[in-house]
A and B are shown apart, each in its own frame.
Chain A
Amino acid sequence: MSRFQQRLMANLSPSGRLSWPELYAAQARNSRHPALRDFYAAGVPDPGTPLAEVPLVAIDFETTGLDAKTCDIVSIGLVPMTIKRIYSSQARHWIVRPRTDLSTDSVVVHGITHSDVDAAPDLSQQLDEVLEQLKGKVVVAHCCAIERNFLDKAVRARWGDGIRFPMLDTMQLEADLVRQPTLIERVFGAHKKSLRLGDARERYGLPFYHPHHAQTDALACAELLQAQIASHCSPTVSIASLWC
Chain B
Amino acid sequence: MQAEHIEILEFLRQHQPFTELDDKVLQRIAEHTDVTYYKAGTQILAFGEEITDWHVIRSGVVEVYRRSGELYDRLTTGGYFGQFGLLRNNRIRFPARALEDTLVYLIPEAMFTELFEEHENFADQVEVEDRSRLRQAVARQIDGNQLMSAEVDSLIQREPQLVTVSTPVRDAAIRMSEAGVTCVLVVTESDQPLAASRLVGIVTDKDIRNRLVVPGLPYDTPIEDIMSGCIASVEHSQFVFEAMLMMLRYNVHHLPVMRHGIPIGVIALPDVIRYESQNSLFVVRNIFKAKTVEELAALQPEVKACFSRLVAEDANSRMIGTSMAVIGRSFKQRLLEMAEAELGPPPVPYCFLALGSMAREEQLIVTDQDNAMILDNAYNPKEHEAYFVALAKFVCDGLHACGYEYCRGGIMATNPKWRKTLKQWQQAFVDWIENPVQEVLLNSFIFFDMQGVWGETQWASQLTGLVAEKAMHNPMFLACMARGALGRTPPLGFFKGFVMESDGDHSRSINMKRRGTAPLADLVRVHALAIGSRAHNSFERLQDLIAADYLPEGQGPDLRDALEMLAMVRIRHQAKDLEAGRVPDNSIEPDNLSDFERKTLKDAFQIVSNAQKSLRFRYQSVRAYG
Contacts and interface: CB of A to CB of B under 8 A. Distances in A.
Contacts of A86: 34-36
A84 interface: yes
Given A206-B37, A226-B37, A91 B3 contact: yes
Interface string A160-202: 0000000000000000000000000000000000000000000
Contacts of B100: 205
B34 A216 contact: no
Interface in A189-244: 204-207, 209-210, 213, 215-216, 219, 222-223, 226-227, 230-231
B39 A230 contact: yes
Chain A CB within 10 A, most for which of B1, B42, B103: B1
A89 interface: yes
A93 B39 contact: no
Interface in B24-79: 31-39, 42, 58-60, 77
Interface string A63-100: 00000000000000000000011111101111100000
Contacts of B102: 205
Nearest to A92: B3
A227 B39 contact: yes
On chain B, which size bracket covers the interface?
A: 20 to 34
B7 A216 contact: yes
Interface string B63-107: 000000000000001000000000000000000000011110010
B102 to A, nearest CB: 7
Given A85-B36, A87-B34, A231-B39, A93 B60 contact: no
Chain B CB within 10 A, most for which of A87, A94, A206, A222: A206
Interface in B131-189: none
B38 A215 contact: no
A84 B42 CA distance: 13
Contacts of B60: 205
Chain A residues touching B, majority SS: mixed
Contact of A207 (B1, B31, B34, B59): B59
B34 A219 contact: no
B209 interface: no
Nearest to B1: A94
A209 B6 CA distance: 9
Chain B residues touching A, majority SS: mixed
Contacts of A91: 3, 5
Interface in A127-155: none
B621 interface: no
Contacts of B38: 230
Contacts of B264: none
A55 to B, nearest CB: 14
Contacts of A226: 36-37
Contacts of A85: 34-36, 106
Contacts of A88: 5, 8, 33-35
Chain A CB within 10 A, most for which of B42, B100, B106: B106
A230 B106 CA distance: 18
A84 B35 CA distance: 9
B101 A205 contact: yes
Contact of B1 (A95, A204, A216, A219): A95
B4 interface: yes
B594 interface: no
Contacts of A205: 59-60, 100-103
A89 B108 CA distance: 10
Contacts of A219: 7, 35
A184 to B, nearest CB: 28
B31 A216 contact: no
Contact of A210 (B6, B32, B103): B6
B37 A209 contact: no
Contacts of A94: 1
A95 B36 CA distance: 27
B6 A213 contact: yes
A206 B42 contact: no
B101 A204 contact: yes
A205 B102 CA distance: 7
A89 B34 contact: yes
Contacts of B34: 85-89
B190 interface: no
Contact of B58 (A87, A93, A207, A216): A207
Contacts of B101: 204-206, 227
A206 B33 contact: no
A227 B104 CA distance: 12
Nearest to A223: B37
Interface string B1-26: 11111111000000000000000000
B391 to A, nearest CB: 68
Nearest to A224: B37
A138 to B, nearest CB: 18
Interface of A: 84-89, 91-95, 126, 204-207, 209-210, 213, 215-216, 219, 222-223, 226-227, 230-231
5 contacts: A88-B33, A205-B59, A206-B103, A213-B4, A215-B4
Given A205-B102, A206-B101, A226-B37, 8 more contacts: A86-B36, A87-B34, A88-B5, A92-B3, A206-B37, A206-B59, A209-B7, A215-B3
Which 3 residue pairs of A and B lie closest in terms of their CB atoms, listed nearest first?
A205-B101, A230-B39, A226-B37
